[in-house]
Structure 1
Amino acid sequence: MTTDEVAPGNAAPVAAAGTVDRSHKGEAAPNVAFLDAVGKPVNLVDFRGKPVLLNLWATWCAPCIKEMPSLDAAAAAAGDKVHVLAVSQDMQREKVAPFFAERKLDHLAPYTDPEMGLSLSYKANLPTTIMLDAEGRELWRVSGAMDWAGAEAKALIAEANA
C-alpha cells in the first residue's frame, strides 16, 4: 500500500494511486444506507436520474484531505449535471460538517457513513471515487487521490454524460 491509500477492513488489493479501474463496469450500486447532512438515511438509488461521482473518504485520511479542494471544484463545475457525493467513512459524523466549513468546501454536502457500509460493499481503500451512470451502474473507479479539477478527471466525469 502506498501513502496515497488507507485500507479499511477487507479492502481489495491496491492498484497504483490514481489508476482508473473499469473492471466493475456495469455493476449495480450497492443497496447501502448512509446519512445526509442532517442525519437522514439515504441510498445511492435516491440519486438516480443523474450520474453520481461518489467519493469515499475520511477526515483522518491524508490523501483524502489533499484531494478535497479539487473535488469541491469538480462539484462546482458539474453544477446540476452530476451529483458529487463526498461520503465520509468517519465513525463520528459530527466531525465532518466542521471539517467542510473550516476548509470552505462550499459545493459538497457532508454525507457520512459511520458504519463504513459503502467502503465494505465496494471493498474500497480510502480515498476511492466511483462514477455511476444515471441508472446507478458503475462506469469506473479510482483508488487513491486524484486532481478532480484536472483535465484527466474532467474527461472521466464527462463519460457519464456521453
Structure 2
Amino acid sequence: MTFSAWCVRSAYVLMALATTAAQAQYQKLAWPASVPTPQIQMTDLNDQPWNAAELKGKLVVLNFWATWCGPCKQELPSLQALSDASAGNPVVITVDVKESASKVTSFILGNRIRLPVVLDKSGEIARQWGVRAFPTTVLIGADGQARWRIQGALDWNGPEAHAWIKSLKLEP
C-alpha cells in the first residue's frame, strides 16, 4: 500500500470514528420505576404558569440548561424547531439553572429563543428531577409520568427524537 493510499484509508477510518462519537453525545435512560415523577409547578419568564392542570393530556419535553453550557446552546435551536413544528404537543419547557433573569433574558433574545423559560435560581427544580449534567431533558407522557431522561445534547429534529416522541403519542 502506498503512503497516499494509507493516508486516504486512515482518513476514512477517522471520519467513521468521529461520526460515531458525534452521534453518541447523549445517553437515554428510562425513568426509574421506583422514583415518583416530581410535580410540575413552575412559572416562566413571561409569568405563564406551568402545572399538571395546564399540561394534562400533553406530552412534555422538559429541558434543563444554562447559558454557559456549549452543548445546551447547540441544542436549544432544535428544541425551538421541535416546538414550532409540534402545534403544542409536545409542549417544550426549558429550565435555566442557577442564573439571573437578566442574563437568561439577554441570551434568549439574542438567540431568538421563544420557548418558555423557567428560572431555577436555587437549583431545587433540577435537584427534584435528578439533573446532574447539562443539558438534561426529561420526556413526560400525556399521563404526567416521566418516561425518559436524556443526558447530553441531542438533535430534537432527528429520527431518534421523532421516534421517541411518536412512541409516547401512541401510548394509551
After TM superposition, the score normalised by the length of structure 2 is 0.74
Structure with more helix by fraction? 2
Separation in structure 2 between the aligned mates of residue 77 and residue 40 of structure 1, nearest angstrom? 21
1:75-99 superposed Cα distances (whole Å, 9 cap, x missing partner): 1121222111111113312222221
Separation in structure 2 between the aligned mates of residue 51 and residue 27 of structure 1, nearest angstrom? 19
Structure 1 match to 2:130: 123
Which amino acid is the alignment partner of residue 30 of structure 1?
P
Are the equivalent residues in 1 in contact too, given 2:31–2:146 (CA < 8 A)? no
Deviation, 1:44, is: 5.2
Aligned residue among 43, 47, 63 for 1:55? 63
Structure with larger Rg: 2
Structure 1, unpaired ranges of 5+ = 1-15
2:149 aligned with 1:141: yes
Structure 2 match to 1:5: none
Separation in structure 2 between the aligned mates of residue 52 and residue 59 of structure 1, nearest angstrom? 22
SS at match of 2:169: coil
Aligned residue among 89, 95, 101 for 2:97? 89
Which amino acid is the alignment partner of residue 121 of structure 2?
P
Which amino acid is the alignment partner of residue 119 of structure 2?
T
Decide which moves more: 76-85 or 26-35: 26-35
* Aligned residues: CA RMSD: 2.2
Percent of pairs identical after alignment?
Answer: 32
Are the equivalent residues in 1 in contact too, given 2:60–2:89 (CA < 8 A)? no
SS at match of 1:50: coil
Decide which moves more: 26-35 or 71-80: 26-35
Residues 148 and 40 from structure 1, CA distance in 2 versus in 1: closer, same or farther, beyond 3 angstroms?
Answer: closer
Deviation, 1:27, is: 5.0
Structure 2 match to 1:71: 79
Are the equivalent residues in 2 in contact too, given 1:18–1:144 (CA < 8 A)? yes
Instruction: State the aligned residue count.
Output: 146
Decide which moves more: 86-95 or 40-49: 40-49
After TM superposition, the score normalised by the length of structure 1 is 0.78
Separation in structure 1 between the aligned mates of residue 93 and residue 113 of structure 2, nearest angstrom? 12
Structure 2, unpaired ranges of 5+ = 1-23
